Amino acid sequence: MRLHGRGKAAIVVFVVVLILDQLSKWQINSHIPLIGSQYGSYPYGGIGVFENFFGIEFSISHVINYGAAWGVFADAQVYLLGLRIVLILGMFTYGLFFNTNEKWVLPIALILAGAVGNVLDFFVYGHVVDMLNFYFWGYDYPVFNLADSAVFLGVVWLSLTTLCTRPTEPLESP
């Protein structure tokens, strides 16, 4: 099997996103105390990046997440890990063998890189390391990481591509 154009780009995107995600988590885990620890400096226990930028505040914090998004299913971590691995294998298989839409290759690579990054956390740290802490006009948005961002961007890209692409064949009326 020879890779062309988007296939090569997908591998590069996957590897770059995964490396950046894992490096950022290693840095956070090694150098920033957990949020709420006695060493919290910025008002939210992290490193302030900007404060009150049109009502938005952002800090780099160290937060542990044992569950999925927003910590849901934290008490079912092993089952969640199994589900994540099955979904990753399914998406990888679909992307490699069944996907016929060239426009879906890069979004799928983003989603896979993010999903693999969060699964790797379970084996490296025993939990997911989150660090991007936003406050939007007084609302404390759940802390997330680069892998979560890659999954989100991949899903949005895939959704927009699907919604904005016209069908090549007219649909038949029953």
**Catalytic position from the list 21, 75, 130, 140:** 130
Q: Which helix (H) or strand (E) holds 49?
A: strand 47-53
Say if CB 121 and CB 128 are below 8 A apart.
yes
CA-to-CA distance for 62 and 37, rounded, in angstroms? 10
CA-to-CA distance for 127 and 77, rounded, in angstroms? 9
Say if CB 45 and CB 35 are below 8 A apart.
yes
Residue 44: per-residue pLDDT: 57
Residue 67: per-residue pLDDT: 75
Residue 34: per-residue pLDDT: 81
Active site residue 140: no
Say if CB 121 and CB 25 are below 8 A apart.
yes
pLDDT tens sequence for the chain (174 residues): 455 567 889 999 999 999 999 999 999 999 888 876 555 555 556 788 888 889 898 889 898 888 777 666 667 778 888 999 999 999 999 988 888 888 999 999 999 999 999 999 999 999 999 999 888 888 888 889 999 999 999 999 999 998 988 766 655 655
Residue 1: per-residue pLDDT: 43
Residue 100: per-residue pLDDT: 85
Residue 101: per-residue pLDDT: 86
Q: Which residue, 134, 155, 116, is CA-closest to 25?
A: 116
Classify 1 as helix, strand or coil: coil
Residue 121: per-residue pLDDT: 94
**Catalytic position from the list 75, 121, 140, 148:** 148
Active site residue 75: no
Residue 147: per-residue pLDDT: 95
